Chains A and B, each alone.
Chain A
Amino acid sequence: MKAIAIVPEKEKIIRLFEENKAEICRNDSPYLTALRLEALQSFALAGYPTQELEEWRSTNLKDALAEEYNFYFTPFEDDVDVKEIFRCEIHNFETYLFSQLNGWYVYKQAPVTQLPNGVIVGSIAEVFRTHPELVLEHYGKYADVKNNGFIALNTMFAQDGIFIYVPDNIVVEKPIQIVNIVNISENIFLQPRNLIVLGKNAKLTLVHCDDSINHQKSFINSITEFFVDEGAEIDFYKLQNKDHLSNVITNTFFHQKENSKVNTNTLTFNGGLIRNETRVCLCGRGADAKVYGLYLMDKEQHIENQIYIDHIAEDTSSYELFKGIIDDNASAVFNGHIQVHRDAQKTVAFLTNKNILLTDSAHVSTKPFLEIYADDVKCSHGATVGQLDPEALFYLKSRGICERNAKMLLMYAFGAEVANKITIDVLRDRIDNMMVMRLKGELSICDQCVVHCKQEEKLVFDIDMSKL
């Protein structure tokens, strides 16, 4: 296992690729190598996105990219017992659990698991060998390397990630849970690459938890591509609970065919600098996307959600709701862009972003945007930035509720609108609890999202948030 430490400046990282090309491409099919080289060209041309670009205006990556990070091009030799590092904190949460450690798929019993119903879950590097036809049809087809420098960079370097395939007409009853852990005692630069393919009328619930246990600087540049075939349905929950030394850039793509349904919810509780970009392509008639998000940020944290929804086909619908509470000196950016193409008649699209600022130094920038080229559509967008309602606070306090709990109740109520969209009861309850803990400032990075390091301590709640 060889680590190479560099400051990931444009020229240096290109040289890093050139010098390690043989290692990086060692298992590639010709298609994949060609794709990497195309990505290299794009990156060489565009480099990292800068703040001069409108879409990256609020993302200051200078400091993050000036650090030195370790790059690994071969897997870690020791296959770890993931149970030694974390355990799931959601009781009665029955899932198929798979994990990534420091960017590499954790094998457990096998690099690729095939369930009795034909569902395949495994290391994408392995699946390239075992089921190339499943991967090649979609890999890199939705994440356009010309879109931004990080997509190009990931495509150049990506070596492992999670692959999931659900065959036609298969409903996966139990959710699949992916836990992505960073646990290494050095600075690390990771570029995981995931691909999720749902066949016709397939159904899947996927929970993706991003956690870090180390207290070193990390830079994660991940791509996840979803292909959702005709009539298929995916529920995708992304939980981000990262330490303040983490820089996270995620690019997520949903490619939707006729009558498919996407329901995605991104819940961000902690992080250093996080930028989530989600692109939904409603390509087939009747496709529907629900894109939700909640972010609770404090201290010096920075969160961005950039959502692009393309209504390409007729009769497509999208509903977007993002809410955030921003405390201390934290900052949040929301950019929701809906484009209704000329042929996408009868589109229905709603977009809402609501923010609460708790301090004068907290900052939010929100930009809901509609671009409509069809003439028979129903669309609306809106954004709010405000404080907790002083009238409501007084009302609660006048009933004997202390200021802190009164604020808690109001903040909780604000966030619950998004959390309530979670369809898995046990997950929703857990998120409810996390929200309460987070708002009370008790969710440290050691109370991992749904995972938990072993130093368990009993949490006591002033407010009984159970639904009674």
Chain B
Amino acid sequence: MSLLEIKNLKVSINNKKIIKGLDLLVNAGEVHAIMGPNGTGKSTLASVIAGRDVFIVTDGSIHYKDKDLLSMAVEDRSREGIFLGFQYPVEIPGVSMTNFMKTAVDEHRKYNHLPALTAVEFLRLMDEKKKMVEIQSNLTNRSVNEGFSGGEKKRNEIFQMSMLEPTLAILDETDSGLDIDALKIVANGVNKLRRADNAFIVITHYQRLLDYIIPDFVHVLFEGRIVKSGGKELAYELESKGYDWIKQELENQ
């Protein structure tokens, strides 16, 4: 079954065209990597899927589980199983991680007609997931991302992902700024969540992450379009050759 189907997507911000006719098909059980030079629309694509309203979709469609994703509210996309791991997670002083996650988990469960977790069950779940991403600190007393180091912020994204168990997770440069140990922790978090009924879109600049999260497909996004797709070997090719040969190929066409 196709989980996500993007057809001829065109997106603008402030009348500037960012995505210029993009097609992508993601099936359950797959991991897709999206690579490409800076400023070609990778983060825009992630934001549009998550529902950020500063971007205007001028054409095309996105279907998720056969539903029209673009007409869904941001929070409903999340409750339906979409998760965006932010490239730059925002700091929210005064909102404790516990309150934040409890509210999010409660709303997910309510949406899915599941009974709310008791405080004890919830804390047990938090503890279990914290261990998985090797967060040692007591999140109860910490505000969302406030004072977190770069690595902690990224691990916190993976922690939230594992709390919400999404069907489609998009990780927007979750690996950038991470040292090799943190990178392994993040990759390990993803791998533990991989199942036959969910899928991942991993946006990255580096083939390194793909050594730990093995993708089924690698796509190259260039000037608002997917210009090349292949298997994981494409990532190695990009790593050794850079993006110039792709530009060259395009020019030759």
Contacts and interface: CB of A to CB of B under 8 A. Distances in A.
Interface of A: 389, 391-392, 394-403, 405-406, 409-410, 412-414, 416-417, 462-468
B231 to A, nearest CB: 31
A467 B102 CA distance: 11
Contact of A468 (B75, B102, B107, B144): B102
B196 interface: no
Contacts of B143: 413
B22 interface: no
Name the prevailing secondary structure of the B interface residues: helix
Interface string B39-58: 00000000000111000000
Nearest to A464: B102
Contacts of A406: 75
Interface in B2-34: none
Interface of B: 50-52, 73-75, 77-79, 84, 86, 89-90, 92-96, 98-100, 102-104, 106-108, 111, 119, 122-123, 140, 143-144, 160, 164
Given A395-B90, A467-B96, A468-B102, 8 more contacts: A401-B100, A401-B104, A402-B107, A409-B99, A413-B143, A463-B99, A464-B99, A468-B119
Nearest to B107: A400
Nearest to B79: A400
Given A398-B74, A399-B78, A403-B75, A389 B100 contact: no
A401 B103 contact: yes
B103 A394 contact: no
Contacts of A463: 99, 102-103
Contacts of A462: 103, 106
A405 B51 contact: no
A389 B75 contact: no
A395 B86 contact: yes
Contact of B100 (A391, A394, A396, A467): A396
B94 A464 contact: no
Contacts of B144: 395
A389 B95 CA distance: 13
A312 to B, nearest CB: 35
A400 B99 contact: no
Q: Chain A CB within 10 Å — which of B89, B99, B108, B123 has the most?
A: B99
Contacts of B108: 400
Contact of B99 (A391, A398, A402, A465): A465
Contacts of A391: 90
A413 B75 contact: no
B44 to A, nearest CB: 14
B78 A397 contact: yes
A414 B93 CA distance: 8
B94 A414 contact: yes
A401 B107 contact: yes
B161 to A, nearest CB: 10
Nearest to A399: B104
22 contacts: A397-B75, A398-B50, A398-B74, A399-B78, A399-B104, A399-B160, A400-B79, A400-B104, A401-B75, A401-B100, A401-B104, A402-B75, A403-B75, A405-B103, A406-B75, A462-B103, A462-B106, A463-B102, A464-B103, A465-B99, A468-B102, A468-B122
B134 to A, nearest CB: 21
Nearest to B119: A468
Contacts of A389: 90, 92
A409 B100 contact: yes
A394 B74 contact: yes
A401 B94 CA distance: 17
Contacts of B84: 398
A391 B91 CA distance: 9
Nearest to A415: B94
A416 B119 CA distance: 22
A25 to B, nearest CB: 52
Contacts of B95: 396, 409-410, 412-413
Contacts of A395: 86, 89-90, 92, 144
Contacts of B51: 397-398
Contacts of A410: 92, 95
Contacts of A468: 98-99, 102, 119, 122-123, 140
A153 B76 CA distance: 59
B90 A392 contact: yes
A133 to B, nearest CB: 48
A396 B101 CA distance: 10
A405 B96 CA distance: 14
Contacts of A401: 75, 100, 103-104, 107
A467 B97 CA distance: 11
Contact of A399 (B73, B100, B119): B100
Contacts of B77: 398
A412 B144 CA distance: 14
A391 to B, nearest CB: 5
Given A399-B78, A403-B75, A394 B52 contact: yes
A464 B160 CA distance: 18
Nearest to B51: A398
A352 to B, nearest CB: 14
A400 B75 contact: yes
Given A464-B119, A467-B140, A468-B140, A409 B103 contact: yes
Nearest to A466: B119
Nearest to B160: A399
Nearest to A463: B103
Contacts of B104: 396, 399-401
B78 A398 contact: yes
Contacts of B74: 394, 397-398
Contacts of A402: 75, 107
Given A394-B52, A399-B160, A468-B140, A413 B93 contact: yes
Q: Chain A CB within 10 Å — which of B96, B108, B119, B122 has the most?
A: B96
Q: Chain B CB within 10 Å — which of A395, A396, A400, A467 has the most?
A: A400
Contacts of B103: 401, 405, 409, 462-464
